[in-house]
Amino acid sequence: MPASVHYHPWTHRTALLLTAATLLLIIVGGGVTTLRAGDTEPTWSLRFWEWFQPPSELLQKEGHIWEMSHRQLGTVVGFVAIAFIALLWRKEPRPWVRKLGYLAFAGVVAQGVLGGARVLVVSDEGDALRSAMEVETAAGAQSLRYLFALVHAGLAYLLFALMVCLVWLTSRHWREEATATDDARKIRRGCIAAAAIVFAQLLAGAYLRHALLWTTAKVVLHVTGALLVALAAAWLATSVFRARGRLEVLEPPALHFLFLAQLQIFLGILAFVAGTGSHARDFSYGWTAVLHTGHQVVGPLLFAGSALLVLRAFRSLDLAP
C-alpha cells in the first residue's frame, strides 16, 4: 500500500502539537526540579479548572507559578491527546499505529495519576494514602516521594519517545521500501542497545537530581554512563556511514543522535562545573538553573532519537515495528 494512503494531515499536525506540548511540559517540569519548586502547592484538586489561576495570584508565592504551570500544561496535553486518539480512530487505517496512539493516551493518564499521587504522599492531606502504603515515618515518605518522582520521570521519557515515533509514523515520509544489508542486523541490535543505555542513564540522572545524592562514586558512575552513550552514538554513526549509502534511511537520525549525545555531555560538564545545587529552594533562575534544566531536557530528546533509530532500523530490514 502506498505511503500516501497512510497520511492524513490533521492527524500528523495533532501529533506534532501533542509532542511539542509534551516537550514544553518536560521543560517546565525540569524547571520545577531545578528550582526545588515541587510541592509549593500541597493539594491536588480533581477540579482541574481551579489550577488555571491568574498570573498575579500565582506570583504571590515563590515557585508557585512553576508548580501550577506544570499542572496546567499537563491538562492541555491531556486534551490534545484526546483529540489525537479521536483522529487516529477515525482516520488511521493501520491498527498497530492506532494501538500505539491509545498507548500514548494511557501514558498521559498514568502521568497525571502519578503526579497527583506524588503530591499527596508528602502533603498534609496524604495521611490516608501514606497509611494505605504503610508509610509511617518522614524518611519513608521521602523515599516514596523519590520513587514516585523516578517512575514519573521514566514514564515521561518513554511517553515522549513514543510521541516522536508517532509523529514520524503519521507523516508523509513513512516508507514502505526495505533496505537490507549484511550489517543491518548488527546495526539493529546496536540501536536497541543504545536506546537501553540512554534510558538507564536518564533514570540514573533523574534519581540524582531528585535525591541530590552527588557523592564521588555516583558522579563517576554517571560519567561512565555518559561515556557509554557517547560510544554507542559514535559506533552507530560510523557503522551507518560505512554502509556507503546502503543504509541511507538511517543516516539523518544517526547524525542527530550523535549530535544530541555530544550536546548532552557538553551541557552535563557545564552544569557540573556550575554546581550541583543544594536541598534548599532557589527561585532565582540564573545561568546555573538554565544549564541544569537544559541538561535534563536534552535527555528525553536523546532517548526519543534513539527510539526513532530503533523503529527505522526495523523498517530498513522490512520487519514489522
Residue 278: per-residue pLDDT: 46
Cβ atoms of 212 and 276 closer than 8 Å: yes
Cβ atoms of 145 and 152 closer than 8 Å: no
Provide the grid cell at 18.
501533542
Q: For 221-266, how does the pLDDT look when each residue is reduced to its tens digit (9 = 90+)?
A: 888 999 999 999 999 999 888 877 677 778 888 999 999 999 999 9
Distance CA 291, CA 303 (A): 19
Q: How many CB atoms lie within 10 A of CB 131?
A: 10
Residues 218 and 244 in one domain: yes
Cβ atoms of 40 and 65 closer than 8 Å: no
Residues 192 and 135 in one domain: no
Share of the chain above pLDDT 70, in %: 71
Residues 104 and 238 in one domain: no
Cβ atoms of 1 and 246 closer than 8 Å: no
Cβ atoms of 130 and 136 closer than 8 Å: yes
Domain final residue, candidates 145, 174, 203: 174
Residue 87: per-residue pLDDT: 93
Residue 274: is its pLDDT beyond 50?
Answer: yes
Domain final residue, candidates 112, 143, 174: 174
Residues 4 and 136 in one domain: yes
Residues 67 and 106 in one domain: yes
Residues 53 and 136 in one domain: yes
Q: For 57-77, how does the pLDDT look when each residue is reduced to its tens digit (9 = 90+)?
A: 666 666 667 788 888 898 999
Provide the number of structural domains found in the chain: 2
Burial class of residue 147 (count of CB atoms within 10 Å of its CB; 0-12, 13-18, 19+): middle
Distance CA 112, CA 52 (A): 16
Residues 115 and 12 in one domain: yes
Q: For 187-210, how does the pLDDT look when each residue is reduced to its tens digit (9 = 90+)?
A: 888 999 999 999 999 988 887 776
Q: Which domain holds residue 224?
A: 179-321
Mean predicted confidence (pLDDT) in 167-177? 77
Ordered DSSP codes for 152-218: HHHHHHHHHHHHHHHHHHTSTT--------TTHHHHHHHHHHHHHHHHHHHHHHHHHHHH----HHH
Residues 76 and 161 in one domain: yes
Residues 260 and 209 in one domain: yes
Distance CA 315, CA 92 (A): 19
Domain final residue, candidates 118, 141, 174: 174
Residues 189 and 275 in one domain: yes
The helix (H) or strand (E) run that includes residue 151 is: helix 138-169
Q: Decide: helix, strand or coil at residue 243.
A: coil
Residues 163 and 200 in one domain: no
The pLDDT mean for the chain works out to: 80
Residues 135 and 60 in one domain: yes
Distance CA 51, CA 27 (A): 19
- Lowest-confidence segment of 36-45, 143-152, 276-285 by average pLDDT: 276-285
- At 164, is the pLDDT very low, low, confident or very high (cuts 50, 70, 90)? very high
